[in-house]
Amino acid sequence: MFQILNEDGEVVNQDDVPALSDDELKELMKRMVYTRILDQRSIALNRQGRLGFYAPTAGQEASQLASQFALEQDDFILPAYRDVPQLIWHGLPLYQAFLFSRGHFHGNQFPEGVNALSPQIIIGAQYIQAAGVALGLKKRGKKAVAVTYTGDGGTSQGDFYEGINFAGAYNAPAIFFVQNNHFAISVPVEKQTAAKTLAQKAVAAGIEGIQVDGMDPLAVYVATKHARERAINNEGPMLIETVTYRYGPHTMAGDDPTRYRTDDLDNEWEKKDPLVRFRKYLEGKGLWSEEQENSVIDQAKEDIKKAIKKADSQPKQKVTDLISFMYEEMPPNLKEQMEDYIEKESK
């Protein structure tokens, strides 16, 4: 498993340390702290009934944010439902992320220049889409990549194999992430596959695969940067398995992780916390302090407060909105239904 920082924040592979400036290192830490606060507040908002569907992200910040940090604005992100943080740092306004959680159509109307698709709810479907987007980028001569994410459970889906095989066969500039947090909801990865790693599944598709310490932001960044360089230089797609852990439930929709995870396992992974690890590394370089971290926390809380207020102010979604946004040209049967609905609504 590729690693640069151990759980104590110590460099174990000096030759692999990326050439990030001090400001870039601090920016990455800022994003990780900010996102941890966003996760905490989103869970609270969900419990208050102010958000809808929500999948906690704590523990996966290095895997999610360090990978996005290695991308360019022209790159396309095809996220799973837990990967909203990457969209936010790729340019999606926070209030729209909240609207997505509520199922409001405006949460999926991404601003111009935010190259991404909406979070995919169907497990693994984004892998096929990523292969298609990557091939489109290649045909247009773009020096950009399509990056997609799934969990370990996604590798048990047929779409996973179809996506990586298609991308491999057509040498498409795609990066496929498998965020191995050990449990597909409640099913441990050992019961999903007999393979020793998920990265080795790349072999069947004829593409490069690597297993990375997903709690190590520097290792994730370097692996992503390497994959991107290969892709834009027509050297083929890559599968990156980030070995990570989600501290919370699978989603806030009734999952109880205490039924399938032990306290000992939780405690073991808390010692590998990506924020603690990176904080120690930056403190050792004199780049981070408690004062800086508190400033980021305060900013995150203020931004979240404003974003939820803006989300609350959006017009309520109507049934007619769902119908009108579904098709460019409405089929006759839906047109008839919509006319009936509008007539009844007006009475």
- 239 backbone dihedrals φ, ψ, rounded to 5°: -110, 125
> Does the annotation mark 250 as catalytic?
yes
CB–CB of 321/106 below 8 Å?
Answer: no
User: Which one from 246, 261, 277, 279 is the annotated catalytic residue?
Assistant: 246
User: Which one from 250, 261, 277, 279 is the annotated catalytic residue?
Assistant: 250
- 91 exposure class (CB count in 10 Å sphere: 0-12, 13-18, 19+): middle
Contacts by residues 261-266 (CB-CB < 8 Å, ≥ 24 positions apart)? 261/183
> Does the annotation mark 259 as catalytic?
no
187-188 and 208-213: which strand pairing?
A: unpaired
> In which element (H, E) is residue 126 found?
helix 125-139
User: Which one from 50, 106, 170, 260 is the annotated catalytic residue?
Assistant: 260
The span from the CA of 115 to the CA of 132, in Å, is: 14
262 CB neighbour count, 10 Å cutoff = 10
The span from the CA of 80 to the CA of 118, in Å, is: 8
> Does the annotation mark 82 as catalytic?
no
How big is the chain, counted in residues? 347
The span from the CA of 297 to the CA of 290, in Å, is: 10
Q: Is 194 left (phi over 0), alpha (psi -120 to 50) or beta?
A: alpha
Under DSSP, the state recorded for 2 is: B
- 344 exposure class (CB count in 10 Å sphere: 0-12, 13-18, 19+): exposed
Residues recognised as catalytic:
246, 250, 260
